[in-house]
Amino acid sequence: MEIVKVNTTYQYYLNPDLSQIDWDNVLLLFQKINWKYRIADELKAAFKMSTSTLFIYNQGDIIAFGRIVGDGRYYAMLADIVVDPDYQGKGLGKYLITTLNGILENYHFVNLTAAPGADNFYKKMGWKKQTTSFIWPQGPKQLRQHCEKEE
């Protein structure tokens, strides 16, 4: 795998060979932040279908990752922006966002769905609330967490 950035502490891999990824490690991180249960094989397939992936390691362990789902030219969505809680607050989230977003210059639409509690993180990174986006809620939880209240 090609390392894209090295500092004394962590290793950063952009678009690594996904067959080298320890998907149980990825699953563990999703579990640590209490995101909806995922299945290792499905996760691997979903990352493979992504336009770009970015992984950050500490001594062989994955401690953060993120990806872009896009068409390669016009539309792109940042997804699965995750930093291990033990490593949050060290600038890794900012690195994920700025690096992935940096790949998307000249795209027509770049967006993401913020997890509850992450609004101000994205605002701090310069992202704007989109007034024109719509969601097809995948159940009552999404309706509650991501949708405007209807009169």
Ligand X SMILES: CC(C)(COP(=O)(O)OP(=O)(O)OC[C@H]1O[C@@H](n2cnc3c(N)ncnc32)[C@H](O)[C@@H]1OP(=O)(O)O)[C@@H](O)C(=O)NCCC(=O)NCCS
| Residues contributing to the site for ligand X (CB under 6 A) | 33, 81-83, 88-94, 114-115, 117-118, 120-121, 124
Both structure tokens of 63 = 């401690």
Residue 151 C-beta: closest distance to ligand X, Å:
29
Length of the chain: 151
**Residue (7 or 120) nearer to ligand X, CB:** 120
List CB contacts of 57: < 8 A, sequence separation 6 or more. 10, 11, 12, 13, 63
**Residue (124 or 141) nearer to ligand X, CB:** 124
Residue 86 C-beta: closest distance to ligand X, Å:
11
Residue 3 C-beta: closest distance to ligand X, Å:
19
Residue 58 C-beta: closest distance to ligand X, Å:
13
Strand extents, DSSP E, the chain? 3-6, 11-14, 52-58, 61-70, 75-83, 109-112
**Residue (7 or 19) nearer to ligand X, CB:** 7
Q: For residue 96, which phi and psi values (nearest 5 degrees)?
A: -60, -50
**Residue (118 or 143) nearer to ligand X, CB:** 118
Residue 60 C-beta: closest distance to ligand X, Å:
20
**Residue (90 or 146) nearer to ligand X, CB:** 90
CB 99 within 8 A of CB 64: no
CB 82 within 8 A of CB 29: yes
CB 12 within 8 A of CB 63: no
